[in-house]
Structure 1
Amino acid sequence: MNCPECGTGMVESPVAAASVLRCPDGHGVYLDRASLGALVEAESDWHRFAGQHTAPMPRITPDTAPAPPPAKAPARAWVETLF
């Protein structure tokens, strides 16, 4: 598969229980449905066992404003630790 942005061939990388195709130039990633489901389940498990200092990601609505970037805070989500 080629990157839709630059046309470069995407590189397959194992991430946890999933297989992710990444653009080598950093334009993005591609996940098939099974890999996305595996990452969502791992994310849910991470929040379930991480304690009170984490919370599931909030739903994004049209009026949601992006939060300012944290100053070297601990990982907010398990998926964040992968990339």
Structure 2
Amino acid sequence: MASMTCPKCQGQMSEYHRAGAQIAQCEGCEGVFLDRADLGLLIEEENAWHEAKSGYHTQPLPKITPTMTAPPKSTKAKSRAFIDTLFGA
């Protein structure tokens, strides 16, 4: 893999392959970069994950705003969505 530089902070990028998608993540600002086709793959996997949980109701992800703070870390390892399983906690 050729060395990649983050377009936002010029940090070093790491490449991951998750659910058939190629994802680049900055080690500095933690920005995630991917192609439109890879985003489509992740959206399809997210929808399939929710469909497979037919008897289990999951809450929709909240709209992210600049004033939000991260929720406290839970001791439970239960995923709310497929996207939670991509990078682990």
Fold agreement, TM-score > 0.5: yes
Q: Cα RMSD between the aligned structures?
A: 2.7
**Secondary structure of 1:22's aligned partner:** strand
> Counterparts in 2 of 1:3-22, with a 5 A limit?
3-22=6-25
Structure 2 CA distance for aligned equivalents of residues 35 and 24 of structure 1: 20
Give the CA deviation at 1:78.
0.9
Alignment correspondent of 1:75 = 79
Structure 2: which 5+ residue stretches go unaligned? none
Change in 2 beyond 3 A, CA 1:58/1:8: closer
Structure 1: which 5+ residue stretches go unaligned? none
Give the CA deviation at 1:18.
0.3
Offset from partner CA, 1:16-74 (integer Å, 9 cap, x none): 11000111235211011000000000000000002333426256387xx7784473341
Runs (4+) off by over 4 Å: 65-70
Letter paired with 1:33: R
Structure 2 CA distance for aligned equivalents of residues 69 and 21 of structure 1: 26
> Counterparts in 2 of 1:1-83, with a 5 A limit?
1-55=4-58, 57-58=60-61, 60=63, 68-69=71-72, 71-73=74-76, 74-83=78-87
Letter paired with 1:31: L
Percentage identity across paired residues of the two chains: 37
Letter paired with 2:54: G
**Secondary structure of 2:79's aligned partner:** coil
